[in-house]
Amino acid sequence: ATAAAAAEVPIVPSISVNHTQLLINGQFVDAASGKTFPTLDPRTGEVITNVAEGDVEDINRAVSAARKAFDEGPWPKMTAYERSRIMLRFADLVDKHNDEIAALETWDNGKPYEQSAKVEVPMFTRLFRYYAGWADKIHGLTIPADGEYHVHTLHEPIGVAGQIIPWNFPLLMYAWKVGPALACGNTVVIKTAEQTPLSALYVSKLFHEAGLPEGVLNVISGFGPTAGAALASHMDVDKLAFTGSTDTGKVVLELAARSNLKPVTLELGGKSPFIVCEDADVDQAVELAHFALFFNQGQCCCAGSRTFVHERVYDEFIEKAKARAIKRTVGDPFKEGIEQGPQVDSEQFEKILRNIRSGIEHGATLEAGGERFGSKGYYIQPTVFSNVKDDMLIAKEEIFGPVQSILKFKDLEEVIHRANNTRYGLAAGVFTQNINTANILTRSLRAGTVWINCFDVFDAAIPFGGYKMSGHGREKGIYSLSNYLQVKAVVTPLKNP
């Protein structure tokens, strides 16, 4: 009761929100309609501030600014080294404002401040430094074609990149998308998620202070079916990158196809297996499986949301997983030592509670949690279900919340089949000391990432993306560059005509 009570007196962050307008052509401006929408504090449901609401007209303005900056320069015409320098200066400025940016992220999203300040903002600058490093290392090939020709390829930026990002990692999703697009010399219009518009506006101002020319990066706050759809279907956007739900991914892919066939990268949902093998050290396996699911309030597309446990260690695992969930510290994300803050908004909060009820109704055993935490804001008790069956909704649908579903298995062949029996294929976790088991699982699991004896390792250089309905393409690492480059083949006769 004391912990719950503490969560209900929210700490007031020691910052003020400076930027709430749209960022178009280097200027903060109101929406053409003059409309605004509130962004809420998930700890209380109260309004933090009102933000300009971008719509079709604003997307049009932003795309023409990005078009002009691309066609007339200076961005794509600068030397790659100059672009790299601006990106590095930007990372330095973000470092200087680390704590304010982290506070804004936590205020808008609800994630623990320690995670924002010590992990996410530093990772944001790491990503920009990584991509700055690529800017002057992008080059084509010379090709030994048949005949008397000199053949080479030019790797050119595609043009105006439209980017749509979700609310679970507002800063990191921005870095994954803006970083490679700008390093390759493209210009950008990014639409942030309506739940979390604030941190992107703050850092984009710093980007301009670092010397980014106007029009190169435009930031539109607003809703999906209006601003998002306008960006996806815009005839003058040359490339679209989207992260969000699989259902919305289908919508934007269709909008892209119906308009100008812009190429699309998609990073969508998941129902990732986390497989605890019979040789596992149970204490370590419990801790890692707990992290794999509960990290970021369970709001990760790659969350290890189907915990498969070998029957030999199953009972012990359940007892310990339950004890670990009960021990998880939930409360005001600005308080030190808090592992879990509120969910991002009332919609997600209600959806998670519906999923919990569905688990109970379908006969899964509720081992821990199961209800809201406290009586204010969007907090949910860390919840654990055992005895989960493959055909239950909680084992099939993405919950995106602090709800662990534990399933029992007997042998490897069986768990491979069950782990792959999903429309998703984003990630998988494997916990074993046996190298053969690890190799067999790694090669059999149909997922874009396999973490062995670790989880959620998100280095800038490691590619990330999905098989099957978890998406198209890869972000981060060298693989992300091809999303933002055209290849031009140039053929020259060696003899004069």
The catalytic residue positions are: 267
Residue 346 burial (CB count, 10 A):
13
Minimum distance of ligand ADP from residue 46's CB (angstroms): 20
The residue among 269 and 370 lying less far from ligand ADP, judged by its C-beta, is: 269
Nearer to ligand ADP, 251 or 438 (CB): 251
> Which H/E stretch holds residue 276?
strand 272-276
Percentages of the chain per state (helix, strand, coil), in multiples of 5: 40, 20, 35
Give the C-alpha separation, 482 to 364, whole Å: 44
> Of 166 and 331, which CB lies nearer to ligand ADP in the complex structure?
166
Q: Is 10 in the site for ligand ADP (CB under 6 A)?
A: no
Q: Does 471 bind ligand ADP (CB under 6 A)?
A: no
Residues 252-311 within binding reach of ligand ADP (CB under 6 A) = 252
- Under DSSP, the state recorded for 464 is B
- CA angle in degrees (0–180, nearest 5) for 122-125-129: 135
Closer residue to ligand ADP in complex, CB, 224/448? 224
CA distance 485 to 139: 10
Among the listed ranges 244-252, 259-267, 369-377, 432-440, the one in contact with ligand ADP (CB under 6 A) is 244-252
Residues 6+ apart with CB under 8 A from 84: 132, 133, 135, 136, 183
Helix axes 80-96, 198-209, angle to 10 degrees: 120
Least distance from C-beta 59 to ligand ADP, angstroms? 11
Q: Count residues contacting ligand ADP (CB under 6 A)?
A: 17
Query: Minimal distance in Å, beta carbon 468 to ligand ADP?
Result: 17
By beta-carbon proximity to ligand ADP, the closer residue of 31 and 277 is 31
Which residue of 54, 112, 185, 228 would you call a contact of ligand ADP, by CB under 6 A?
Answer: 228
Q: Which of residues 140-179 bind ligand ADP (CB under 6 A)?
A: 164-166
Among 53, 108, 120, 194, binds ligand ADP (CB under 6 A): 194
For ligand ADP, the closer CB: 84 or 196: 196
Q: Cα(167)–Cα(143) distance, rounded to whole angstroms?
A: 44
Contact between 108 and ligand ADP per CB under 6 A: no
Indicate which single residue of 28, 37, 149, 223 sits in contact with ligand ADP (rule: CB under 6 A). Answer: 223
Amino acid at site 156:
E
Distance CA 277, CA 387 (A): 17
* DSSP code at position 484: G
CB of 307 to ligand ADP, least distance (A): 22
Told to check if 193 binds ligand ADP by CB under 6 A, we report yes
Instruction: Give min distance, CB of 253 to ligand ADP, in A.
Output: 10
399 binds ligand ADP (CB under 6 A): no
**Residue 74, preceding peptide bond in cis (omega within 30° of 0):** yes
In terms of Cα–Cα distance, which of 303, 259, 256, 288 is closest to 399? 303
Among 211, 225, 363, 493, binds ligand ADP (CB under 6 A): 225
Segment interacting with ligand ADP, rule: CB under 6 A, options 101-109, 124-132, 133-141, 223-231: 223-231
**Residue 279: DSSP 8-state:** T
Among the listed residues 59, 183, 229, 441, the single contact to ligand ADP using CB under 6 A: 229
Q: Do residues 276 and 289 lie in contact, with contact meaning Cβ atoms separated by under 8 Å?
A: yes
DSSP string, 406-443: EEEE--HHHHHHHHH-SS--SEEEEE-S-HHHHHHHHH
For residue 475, state whether it binds ligand ADP (rule: CB under 6 A).
Answer: no
Binding of residue 55 to ligand ADP (CB under 6 A): no
Minimum distance between the CB of residue 251 and ligand ADP, rounded to whole angstroms?
5
Q: Which stretch binds ligand ADP (CB under 6 A): 19-27, 115-123, 248-256, 439-447?
A: 248-256
- The label of the residue with tokens 């239950």 reads 392
C-alpha distance from residue 307 to each of 112, 347, 457, 492 (Å) = 24, 25, 18, 58
* 45 CA to centre of own chain: 23
Type of residue found at 409: F
Q: Which residue in the shown chain puts its C-beta closest to ligand ADP?
A: 224
Query: Segment contacting ligand ADP (CB under 6 A): 18-26, 220-228, 328-336, 423-431?
Result: 220-228
Q: Which of 237, 246, 260, 302 is nearest to 472 (CA)?
A: 246
- Give me the residues that bind ligand ADP (CB under 6 A), please: 164-166, 191, 193-194, 223-225, 228-229, 232, 244-245, 248, 251-252
